[in-house]
């Protein structure tokens, strides 16, 4: 049974790869509708945590629960069907088909009869979902363009559209502004927050850009050498001596 308001619970999760301990007894609880960010130096375990939550890795110890149901060890496809979607640090779109077709394929994957692609290809409800997402991320005018011809920032937006097309209630964003210009980063931050609130989404975010983290997050957890060393509001994290020593005061990474 889920605790009140908790969408995702990570309870004393550890993950080892042979003799390497990538995560050690990490716990966190992400509440309905919040933006929860995970930060830390390179090698702190952030991506491993995301991979455990999304099903790419099974935890070595501990539990991962989504809405009270244990998901640790389930396949990524099974976790996605429950309502968890993930974007990747490296843009992951279908480059040789159009922007609209990219989103349509993702939207179809959530349909109960998605095996019958011919009947779904122009289904009205799928088309409405595609239109809404392209409009929300400013990609409507690029609908017929090949995805490979988009700018880097547009491709990042498209990847978020693909994740949202599967109608998740929890979205994992792995460095969504990586490679963006400062102007694109500011716009992306505002847009992600707006879309999350409009759709009632819960977000779990990895991001290196501290201006993004501090501007978008409700709460932040800090990992260091695979352990959680702090958790709190942006203001609390900004002023935490352990965080300043381990991360914020030690340069960009």
63 found inside a domain: no
Give yes or no for a contact between 131 and 175, defined as CB atoms under 8 angstroms apart.
no
- Signed CA dihedral, 194, 199, 204, 206: sign only: negative
Strand order in the sheet with 35-39: 84-86, 170-174, 202-206, 35-39, 219-224, 227-232
Write down the pLDDT at residue 125: 79
Between CA 66 and CA 157, with CA 220 as vertex, the angle to 5 degrees is: 75
> Across-strand partners of 247?
none
Residues ≥6 apart with Cβ < 8 Å to 208: 39, 175, 178, 252, 253
Residue 100 sits in which domain range?
94-167
Give the predicted TM-score (pTM) of the model: 0.86
* pLDDT given for residue 196 in this prediction: 86
Say if CB 75 and CB 55 are below 8 A apart: yes
Find all residues with CB under 8 Å of 181, minimum gap 6, and list them.
153
Within-domain flag for 200: no
pLDDT of residue 251: 42
Q: Is residue 195, in this structure, part of any structural domain at all?
A: no
In a domain, 172, yes or no: no
The answer to whether residue 115 is domain-embedded is: yes
Give the number of domains in the chain. 1
Give the model's pLDDT for residue 6: 96
Whether 64 is in a domain gets the answer no
**Residue 200 burial class via C-beta count within 10 angstroms: exposed 0-12, middle 13-18, buried 19 and up:** exposed
Q: In DSSP terms, which residues pair with 164 in a beta bridge?
A: none
DSSP state of 239: T
CA dihedral 81, 85, 88, 89 (to 10 degrees): -150
- pLDDT tens digits in sequence order for the chain, 253 residues long: 456 799 999 999 999 999 999 999 999 999 999 999 999 988 899 999 999 999 999 999 999 999 999 999 999 999 999 999 998 655 678 899 999 999 998 888 765 444 444 444 556 778 888 999 999 999 999 999 999 999 988 998 998 899 888 889 999 998 888 888 888 888 888 888 888 888 889 999 998 888 889 989 999 999 999 999 999 999 999 999 999 888 655 444 3
Cα 3 to Cα 6: distance, rounded to the nearest angstrom: 5
Which DSSP string corresponds to 133-174? HHHHTT-GGGTTSBGGGS-HHHHHHHHHHHHHHT--SEEEEE
Q: Classify residue 100: in a domain, yes or no.
A: yes
Is 124 a member of any domain? yes
Q: Which 8-state DSSP code applies to residue 250?
A: G
């Amino acid at each position: 049974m889920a605790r009140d308001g908790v969408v995702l619970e990570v309870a004393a999760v550890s993950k080892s790869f042979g003799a390497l301990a990538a995560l050690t007894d990490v716990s966190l609880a992400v509440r309905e509708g919040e933006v929860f960010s995970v930060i830390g130096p390179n090698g702190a375990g952030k991506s491993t945590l995301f991979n455990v939550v999304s099903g790419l890795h099974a935890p070595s110890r501990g539990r991962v629960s989504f809405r009270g149901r244990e998901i640790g060890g389930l396949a990524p496809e099974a976790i996605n069907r429950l309502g968890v979607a993930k974007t990747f640090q490296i843009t992951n779109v279908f480059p040789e088909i159009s922007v609209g077709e990219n989103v349509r394929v993702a939207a179809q994957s959530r349909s109960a009869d998605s095996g019958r692609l011919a009947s779904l290809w122009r289904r009205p409800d799928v088309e409405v979902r595609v239109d809404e997402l392209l409009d929300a991320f400013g990609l409507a005018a690029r609908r017929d363009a090949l995805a490979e011809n988009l700018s880097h920032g547009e491709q990042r937006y498209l990847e978020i559209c693909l994740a949202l097309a599967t109608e998740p209630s929890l979205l994992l964003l792995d460095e969504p502004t990586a490679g963006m210009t400062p102007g694109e980063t500011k716009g992306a931050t505002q847009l992600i927050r707006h879309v999350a609130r409009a759709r009632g989404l819960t977000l779990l975010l990895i991001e290196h850009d501290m201006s993004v983290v501090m501007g978008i997050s409700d709460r932040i957890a800090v990992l260091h050498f695979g352990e959680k060393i702090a958790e709190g509001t942006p203001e609390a994290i900004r002023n935490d001596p352990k965080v300043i020593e381990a991360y914020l005061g030690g340069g960009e990474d």
